Amino acid sequence: DVKVTQSSRYLVKRTGEKVFLECVQDMDHENMFWYRQDPGLGLRLIYFSYDVKMKEKGDIPEGYSVSREKKERFSLILESASTNQTSMYLCASSFYRAAPGLFGSGNEQYFGPGTRLTVT
C-alpha cells in the first residue's frame, strides 16, 4: 500500500514564524503535491514537483515555498506565517506512468492525512 505521511496532524504557530511542513512517501513516486483545503473553497494546489529539485507553482503559491532535495520528501515552507494561512494542508504523491508528453492512465494521487495549521 502507498504510504504518504505528514510530520504533524495539528500545528499551532504564531504570526511571523517560519513554518516547515514535511511530507514523505514510500512508493518511489516521481510527483509530489501540496494543497490547502478551506471550507467553501475546496482543495487548491499550492506547488508541485515532478522530480528531485524540480518545482512548479500551482494556483496559490504566494507566501509559500517548497523544497525537494530527496525523491521521497517534499517540504512546504511558510516563510512568515500569517493568519490567512490557517488551513488544512494536504500532501499527495503520484507515479508518473506515461511517456513524457503523454498523460492519463494511472496518474492517481495518494494523499497524506493532512496537517491542520492554526496561525495565531
Partner 1 sequence: DAKTTQPTSMDCAEGRAANLPCNHSTISGNEYVYWYRQIHSQGPQYIIHGLKNNETNEMASLIITEDRKSSTLILPHATLRDTAVYYCIASNTGGFKTIFGAGTRLFVKA
Q: Which residues bind partner 1 (CB under 8 A)?
A: 4, 31, 33, 35, 42-43, 45, 48, 50, 56, 58, 90-92, 94, 96, 98, 103-114
Smallest distance, partner 1 to C-beta of residue 67, A: 18
Which of residues 15 and 54 has its CB atom nearest to partner 1 in the complex? 54
Smallest distance, partner 1 to C-beta of residue 43, A: 4
Smallest distance, partner 1 to C-beta of residue 107, A: 4
108 contacts 44 by C-beta, under 8 angstroms: no
Which of residues 11 and 96 has its CB atom nearest to partner 1 in the complex? 96
88 contacts 115 by C-beta, under 8 angstroms: yes
Integer angstrom CA distances of residue 84 from 12, 87, 89, 106:
13, 8, 13, 35
Smallest distance, partner 1 to C-beta of residue 71, A: 16
Which of residues 3 and 18 has its CB atom nearest to partner 1 in the complex? 3
Which of residues 107 and 118 has its CB atom nearest to partner 1 in the complex? 107
Amino acid at 18: K
